[in-house]
Amino acid sequence: MERPIATQDGLRLWTETFGSRRDPAVLLVMGGTAPGIVWPDELCRLIAADGYFVVRYDHRDTGRSGKSDGEYDLSTLAADAADVIVGLGLGSAHVVGQSVGGMVAQLLALDRPELVRSLVLLSSSPDANGDVRLPPRTGLPGPRPPMLERAARLTACPPRGPEECLAAAVDGWRVLVGAAVPFDQAYWVDLVRRVMARGHEPDTSWRHTAALDRTPPLTGRIAALDVPTLVVHGEQDPVLPLEHGEELHRVIRRARLWRIAGMGHIFPPHWSSTIRSLVVDHLRRT
């Protein structure tokens, strides 16, 4: 079921739900510049089948959600997540954040702890930059060569026209999935086409990388978190190397860490059942 939710500053956020409203809620927060449909349909249905009310949504400036006028940092995206929980009448939710979405989830738990029942932080960090050429401010390692090389390719030869943009986006997902697991070309081409079809010009998703660069490191703040947390991190992450997940585990007092050999920055769609098992096991523990 799809439903628009109003934010405090008057934007409309697209949301989609799976399962029964009588079940505990799980809010899926996607990474920066990406709309909610990047969460695989299969994963949403599997978690719902395990007895949870699953919500995915488009961040502002992506997909079918509204476009903002001014500058903001990740705290604005965290406030949007809070508006989704409140607007849908969920009371509170288990919050699963991917990459920058994990940083948004951390801020949500800090700013609105009454809304967050537990956290799952997938391929996330307490300190990252939108500009991959800039090292994290707390000394964590920066992106690995595959990500830096992709950024250099885009700078040297920006894509022009829909087909070049599609090819560049698919290449980006290939880098994020990593070379250690099979890449389902047809799946990612279809996903990129769906993402392109649901967006509206002009593309303002770049505002998320600017928001990330405006957000101070969270390391000092998340030491105050008192919420059950599962950190899941790929050992081959080209964007936020494993040390980022290890730092979350070190700083958040009630965190557990699960390393996945071979996983890059984002899990491939055929791993949905594996990710479902990790998430649902954590939810049931809490």
List Cβ neighbours of 274 (8 Å cut-off, separation of 6 or more).
267
Q: Please state the length of the chain.
A: 286
Residue of 127, 265, 272, 282 with catalytic role: 265
Q: Which of 50, 61, 83, 237 is catalytic?
A: 237
How far is it, in rounded angstroms, from Cα 169 to Cα 167? 5
262 Cβ contact list (under 8 Å, min separation 6): 178, 180, 181, 234, 235, 236
Tell me which residue of 214, 234, 209 sits closest to 59, measured CA to CA: 209
Catalytic entry in 65, 68, 99, 124: 99
Q: Is 23 a catalytic residue?
A: no
Is 237 in the active site? yes
CA–CA distance, 209 with 249 (Å, rounded to integer): 24
- Residue 181: is it exposed, middle or buried by C-beta count within 10 angstroms (0-12/13-18/19+)? middle
User: How is residue 260 written in tokens?
Assistant: 């996945």
Tokens of 101: 């979405």
How far is it, in rounded angstroms, from Cα 152 to Cα 184?
24
Does residue 249 have an active-site annotation?
Answer: no
**What H or E segment, with its residue span, contains residue 127?**
none
Nearest CA-CA partner of 96 in 138, 38, 182, 140: 38
Place of tokens 């990252």: 128
**Which residues pair with residue 6 across a beta bridge?**
12
The residues that are catalytic are 99, 237, 265
